[in-house]
Chains A and B, each alone.
Chain A
């Protein structure tokens, strides 16, 4: 099976702009989770989508949003970018979320200038 893919891999934006990141899960996986990874904070959970519904949400401001499509592909959007949003954004897919096993994509490196 093909692994989790994310596009784009690298992105440079300026403060105030918005950005959309995409994640395609492993075929058959219905759960997609998003994480922000920074050197100081480690892996921070953003949200999880399952069957097109947001099932869980972490402690991030409303500028961070996401959605999932009927084919399980997911997108996350960050509006009004801030310098502190610079990070590696990882998505992870899971068959259903209930087993806990997650398989990560390569990530999107976002730099905000």
Chain B
């Protein structure tokens, strides 16, 4: 089955800095890569996703890049703000797993004012 590794487990940055979270996946058949943000005590929320026919996708201060050859994808957050503090999960899914996403272990992002 699919295996997703996510790094780092904790990331501490100063407000205004950029943050990068990286994930690798094992199943080359995976073709959908969502990122979820989970604030303390709240549900995971989809913040951005990318499909395997695209190399990069941006939405305001967040972007995701995908390298299919190397089987890794990354979340980039620019100009971080305290409200970006949360746990971020990457996931990979595709035909091999009947579209059920396999999640990374999560990255706790702390943005210091």
Chain A contacts to B: CB under 8 angstroms: 4, 33, 42-43, 45, 48, 55-56, 90, 97-107
In the bound complex, CA of A43 to CA of B42 (Å): 14
Interface assignment of B98: CB less than 8 Å from any CB of chain A: yes
Name the residue among B46, B97, B98, B100 with the largest chain A CB count within 10 angstroms.
B100
In the bound complex, CA of A65 to CA of B36 (Å): 26
B52 to chain A, nearest CB (A): 11
Specify which of A45, A48, A98, A106 is in contact with B43 (CB 8 Å cutoff): A106
- In the complex formed, the residue of A with least CB distance to B44 is A104
* Closest 9 pairs between A and B when the two form their complex, measured CB to CB: A100-B32, A43-B103, A104-B43, A42-B105, A100-B93, A104-B44, A106-B43, A56-B100, A97-B99
In the bound complex, CA of A105 to CA of B38 (Å): 12
Residues B99 and A99 in contact, CB atoms below 8 Å apart: yes
Residues A100 and B106 in contact, CB atoms below 8 Å apart: no
Contacts of A103 in B (CB 8 A): 46
In the bound complex, CA of A56 to CA of B46 (Å): 22
Interface residues of B in 69-113 (CB under 8 A from A): 89, 93-94, 97-106
- In the complex formed, the residue of A with least CB distance to B1 is A59
